[in-house]
Structure 1
Amino acid sequence: MEQSVEKIIQHGLELDPDQLDGTDVSPKQSVQEVLSSNDQNIVSFEYDAYTTVRVWRDPDDTSAWTNPELMLSLSIDGTAGFENEADIVEDRFDILLDIVADIVPVVKPEYCWGMLPHNHEHAVQYQPTERPIVEHIDSLSWISVFGPTLVADLGGRDRVLSTPAARVEELETGHILVVKTADFFDYNFDGDAIDQYLLEGTPLAEIEAEASTSDSQVSGETIAFDDPFRDFEPGDIGADVVVEKDAVGGEISNGDLHLRRVRVDENSHLRDVKTNEFARRLYGPDGQIGTLPSDITTDEEQFSPLALNGVPVEFVRLTVPDGENVITKCMALDVDVNKFEFLVRLSTSVLDNGYDQADIAATESLLDSIDSLEDQANIDQLIRQL
């Protein structure tokens, strides 16, 4: 208990003054004093003016193994009038998780679980009553810690570390911390996919495929993907524009865009023409086609905004790996104007009027002309007027 309390103090939390009776002693002496005089085995800390962190230990060494040996709680004074801004909530969330990660190597638990006040009546589904534990958990809570034995029962270290959760961290003792959601107060968060992965053994590829379909639902309407590479045959090459996963959903800037010269392989994957490095999967009308390579995670897969915007196939197709087309010429422009938005305008203009190869050639010629201009201000103004 003393080591656990000292771990909490290392995070900058102070012992509740009410427990010290005004005694001016060192933090270590304070801990010892509180523990020696505390019949209920509860130690309270002040995180801020409105937030209290408490740690409790079970004083009964003969308690059933299903009873918690140690409990950590965070409570907030909802009547204090403080503003519950997102950054404040996030800071509390992070400190609590970091404390858990530090205490686990001290306590070495077999299994840890947590609950939020709004769903305490459902806590029974998180707490096993029999062994093996993995067969007696109905659902995982928003935070879980699995000991080495339980990690093995869940499919092994590599599988647990691949859990599609907001935070997955291996601790020095072999325990693995899994946090379902990064939003501590998202009461509507649905963590069923994580339960299916860890408790039911559902393959990650199957979960990712389902998530891809779900992500394509917006306001009840299905997004129709129009990937220009969709009709390519294995071995065909082209120029793609990709962004990393952390840029998806926000405003895409020129700094987010990356040109990749790719070929289509027999698994509907796009791979770099020179290095054979995996870039992304192709998109069908309703979402991604096929599964990820076994050595690639969801976060490592890139996304192409071109798959959403009906870009003509001729914009992306290449006949030789180092060839040029509309995509490569646009991406090579030294301009401040958003290149992706410019590509969309060029595409819309071509598609709306019906097009043939002459129109594609005219678009490439336009890009060559823009690239030859020297006045940066005039270049940006010209592009905006097109």
Structure 2
Amino acid sequence: MVKRREYGSGSVYQRRDGKWIGAIDAGFTASGGRRRVTVTGRTDAEARRRLRDKVAEVKSGIVVMSPNTTVKAWADTWLPIKEAELSPKGYKALAGPVRKWVVSTIGSKRLTQLTPADIRSVEAKQREAGLKGTTCAATQRALFNMLRAAIAEGHAVPTRVLMAKMPKTSPSDRKPLSIPEALAVIAAARDLPHRSRWHVALLTGMRQGECLGLTWDAVDFDAEEIVVEWQLQRLPYRDKRDRSKGFRVPAEYDSVQVHKSWHLVRPKSKAGFRVYPLLPVVAASLREWREHAPDNPHGLVWPNTLGRPASNIDDLEEWHALQGAAGVGHPAGRYYHVHECRNVTATRLREAGVDGLTITSLLGHTSLSTSEGYMTVDAASKRAALEKVAAMLELG
């Protein structure tokens, strides 16, 4: 009678080329496939000895995957996993650099044979293309995350690879408009019926997507508050040629379709949900704009002239046009970015002596220490802070 092998001890067989193969199931991969680990021996006894060692590794939780897996092969496995976890915008920021720079540079390299020099070669290729250190550092962080996930899956990535130095980041040239510049832009927007758009941006520091996704039901004139709980964003189609398949978003991703690929999506962090005091000058300009705003079925505060979501590109062009009309611009010779409106708010708040907790609460940042994260900022403190900024911008 043939004795059955103990469950979990694997099996041994001889290939046609004469080599002996030991195989064992080692659970499942993160993508759901069965993980099959094999060993090779010149004799039956050698294969069994190596298989016993491998069984011990499996039981201890240390499993080395195929030594032939390349960086590209692992990226092809890992990226779909991340696509199901991250927001569309976050996934794009991760997958783009991995596919364009990592896979194209070291995709053919085996994970087991990677060296710090391979990591540096990715940065070198980006530097040759004229990219800045900040971009190189972001790419390397994505690469390191991918390699750590490979290690967690059982791939034998050399530890020294993760000890490679991070690229030096380039100093940011972002800066706020000066008070005279901000006043000039506000003056240039004075004849716009929707000038409230730029009052809110410069006074509160709301992000572009938050402004374009603001709805009238989030503006409470009686309570004198603006609630930030959505932002406008384009979501990618699963199949551009067959849009009936819907949009590529992770499970339980909270979004509301507004028009075609435009959606209202939730802020990326809890800090993004916040309440702004509605100061009288902003309330007045919003009330006036509500009388002339294009009708739209979604209740957007600042839609385009057709009542559809305003494009972030059109919004940016208007911001540049206002700077051109005001005769202002960044010292580097470019226009100020829309995001630099937040720098205006942050800088003016700091100049007004507002405490850091109130500033981060208003801007929706998450950079405070853990202990401060359990603290709250009362509405009166936030209102007093914005009133100081309004006075500086002569909006009081």
Q: TM-score, normalised by structure 1?
A: 0.24
Counting helix residues as a fraction of each chain, which structure ranks higher?
A: 2
Counting strand residues as a fraction of each chain, which structure ranks higher?
A: 1
Query: Relative CO higher for 1 or 2, CA cutoff 8 Å, sep ≥ 6?
Result: 2
Q: TM-score, normalised by structure 2?
A: 0.24
